[in-house]
Chains A and B, each alone.
Chain A
Amino acid sequence: MSTFTQDNPKCHDFLKGAKKALDDDRLQAQLARSLKDGFQKKRLKGMSRLPEYEQLRDRAKAIKAHTLDNLDRYLEQFEAQVMKAGGHVHWARDDDEAAKIIIDICKSVGAKTVTKGKSMITEEIGLNAHFRANGIEPVETDLGEYIIQLRDEPPSHIIAPAFHISKEQVADTFREHHKDQIEDRDLSQPTTLVHEAREELRQKFLKADVGITGSNVLVAETGTGLIVTNEGNGDLTQSLPPVHIAVSSIEKVVPTLEDADTILRLLARTATGQEMSVYTTFFTGPKRDKDLDGPEQFHMVVLDNRRSDLLGGPLHDVLSCIRCGACINHCPIYGKVSGHAYGWVYPGPIGSILTPHFVGVDEAHLLPNACTMCGRCEDVCPVRIPLPKLLRTWRGRAFDAGHPGGLQRLGLRVWAWFAKRPSFYRLLVRPMVMVLGWMGSSRPYDLPAPQGSTFMDRYKRGER
């Protein structure tokens, strides 16, 4: 089974992808360690130092709700402010249009190499494939993204793209690709790996013709974008090359800098437990006359990709997402199957809501069903998105579209027929007790056996 690409989703192969992950002992150990002892513990620690956490969640939720209700106004305000600062705003209706806008800008300056900060929107666009098709070399500069780019793999997590890879695997990958380095060097420590990546990337930063970043938040009142990183690669990506293109999507806008601050106070804490990410970089337009450095050109590409179709509908709340990854980090299913099994760009609970919208319910119907409805995602969501409810909305749409089909659907139909008719239902349950009794006494079913006859039968016989 090959992994998915942006234009070739493999969501229908969820079960195969899950099996592959379950059979991978190394991956299982890594998932258990990095989620439970990593992300989950760190988030709790971050929360414990934030007594106003619940109030902040309410405020962030309110900011998002207000902005989405007035999205047109704030996007226009954002556009006007970017232009006032000397930048350009490009509205992209869909992924292809966004890719074309970006490629055209790169071609207009004769770009050969572009550096990239981490951006899930560029994954959603499948931008790197477009670059390669146009003879432009994209260089991922976020360490995780850099590693998976070398390995030609998609990200497995929205904030930790190389989450599924061990440091030993990284060492092997570096040995294979960094041919100029001494062959028998020691790559056993994370610090040596980081050092080597930094050395390799430094030249690329200096050579790049265009720098591309995402934007975690767009601030309407000032026309400002902002990114959070822990490596500083975003700063080098956006300020060294002569052209900076920031790529974001319509729902990332908030009205004011103070609103952005509320989002920032929640974002790193729920994602990694940090009070703030190591670097938080604001950018407003290109280099000004008296600035010592910065890009000559600034372009903001804002993607819709049918997000506007979700406004006011049953999935409206998913547009509040600030992409912290907390739902992913706490999902019991993600914790076993990792990111690639989901078969497209966004994994985990948030991905199981977004992906069917982008790739269609026929392709992705398994994702919203691959969930125990445990509700922990909603519990940890910093903007209180009712994820289980939205997942169930997709289950309804999947069911209406004929999923599941075949025996599963037939079974459900038969069960529902009986469940709606109590006296017939009693007749159905009796043989089921026998079947389950047989299954309970035979492998490979891990099913305990029923006690013997149904409660209703015993109760009616007068037992108390």
Chain B
Amino acid sequence: MTKTPAPKIGLFITCMVDLMRPSVGFAALRLLDRAGAQVVVPDKQTCCGQPAFNSGDFKDAIHIAKDVIEAFENFDHVIAPSGSCTGMIRKHYPDLLKDEQDWATRADKLAVKTFELTEYLAEHLDLAQSLGSFDHTVTYHDSCTSRRELGVVDQPRKLMAAMDGLDIKELGDTETCCGFGGLFSVKFQEVSNAITKTKTELVQDTGADVLTGADLGCLVKQAGQLKKAGSKVRVFHIAEILAGMASGDGIS
């Protein structure tokens, strides 16, 4: 049997990871390497375009979508450590570009090979073996985009279950939004904060000492609220935990 060559992966780093928490990007590199992939971080990337798209600025969103397609379409797979950016590429690019035939085809092709990080890892890592150890009680925040646009719910939990010492305590009301919503949290700050406050109270109710999730936006928002409330719960992106890089204060 001939060995199949390692798939070439383009890592979509996401603007949030680039700006706020590069360690998530390095964790993703480490994990994808472990999954046997050959990973490249293309230089010609900035953001998936959601700030424009969700502000109704479809012209700029289309421009950015085309840039992303050009930068990533030659990879076997595109992986992003974020449900919302993955959802943008997978679900919304084809819709945004549906009126331009060539671009629509290219968007469709990119959409089917784009995956959220935990979604990809759950399929490509050997979960029969331990992924490492993390001696903490952890609660997991499902982002609305992961859950609803991608249907990613079980995968992060399977990955965490493959870690020694990690005890998962499920969050209450897990289908409810954390209040982040991208620019919503800026434009409607007080409403956003009120929703986040309710969510972080549920986080504290679990008794977990670590909060994790796959979307940095949700995590940064909740980490801010937890800090404000004087909580000792530390917040990490799931990639950091899985890659054995979750030490220190976490997102704070």
Contacts and interface: CB of A to CB of B under 8 A. Distances in A.
B82 interface: no
A453 B176 CA distance: 33
A436 B19 contact: yes
B179 A332 contact: yes
Contacts of A36: 173
A8 interface: no
A462 to B, nearest CB: 12
A356 B60 CA distance: 24
A332 B198 CA distance: 10
Given A448-B251, A454-B19, A459 B25 contact: yes
A112 interface: no
Contact of B18 (A429, A449, A464): A429
Contacts of B190: 15, 18-19, 22
A396 B58 contact: yes
B55 interface: yes
B163 interface: no
A412 to B, nearest CB: 6
Given A15-B188, A373-B181, A463-B26, A446 B224 contact: yes
B176 A425 contact: no
Contact of B20 (A15, A28, A448): A448
Interface in A335-379: 335-337, 369-376, 378-379
A143 to B, nearest CB: 29
Interface in B185-238: 187-188, 190-195, 198, 220-221, 223-225, 227-228
A373 B54 contact: yes
B20 A451 contact: yes
A66 B190 CA distance: 42
Contact of B187 (A369, A394, A397, A432): A369
Nearest to A336: B194
Interface stretch (A115-123, A163-171, A415-423): A415-423
Interface in A426-464: 429, 432-433, 436, 445-451, 453-456, 458-460, 463-464
B60 A416 contact: yes
Contact of B191 (A337, A416, A448): A337
Given A22-B191, A392-B54, A418 B46 contact: yes
Contact of A419 (B47, B173, B223): B47
Contact of A451 (B23, B63, B177, B225): B23
Given A416-B52, A446-B227, A459 B144 contact: no
A372 B198 contact: no
Interface in A32-62: 32, 36
A404 B144 CA distance: 25
B97 interface: no
A395 B26 CA distance: 35
B191 A458 contact: no
A425 B18 CA distance: 11
Contacts of A336: 191, 194-195
B130 interface: no
A400 B19 contact: no
A395 B18 contact: no
A400 B224 contact: no
A177 B232 CA distance: 52
A399 interface: yes
Given A392-B56, A446-B193, A454-B18, A415 B175 contact: no
Given A412-B51, A436-B20, A420 B63 contact: yes
Interface centre among A18, A404, A451 (most CB of B within 10 A): A451
A425 B46 contact: yes
B179 A372 contact: yes
A226 interface: no
B98 to A, nearest CB: 12
A90 B51 CA distance: 46
Contacts of A32: 198
B183 to A, nearest CB: 8
B232 to A, nearest CB: 15
A69 to B, nearest CB: 21
A453 B22 contact: yes
A219 B43 CA distance: 60
Interface string B10-53: 00010101111111011001100000000001011111010111
14 contacts: A332-B195, A335-B195, A369-B55, A369-B184, A372-B192, A394-B56, A419-B64, A433-B19, A436-B19, A448-B220, A448-B223, A451-B23, A456-B13, A459-B22
Interface of A: 15, 18-19, 22, 28, 32, 36, 332-333, 335-337, 369-376, 378-379, 392, 394-400, 404, 408, 412, 415-416, 418-420, 422, 425, 429, 432-433, 436, 445-451, 453-456, 458-460, 463-464
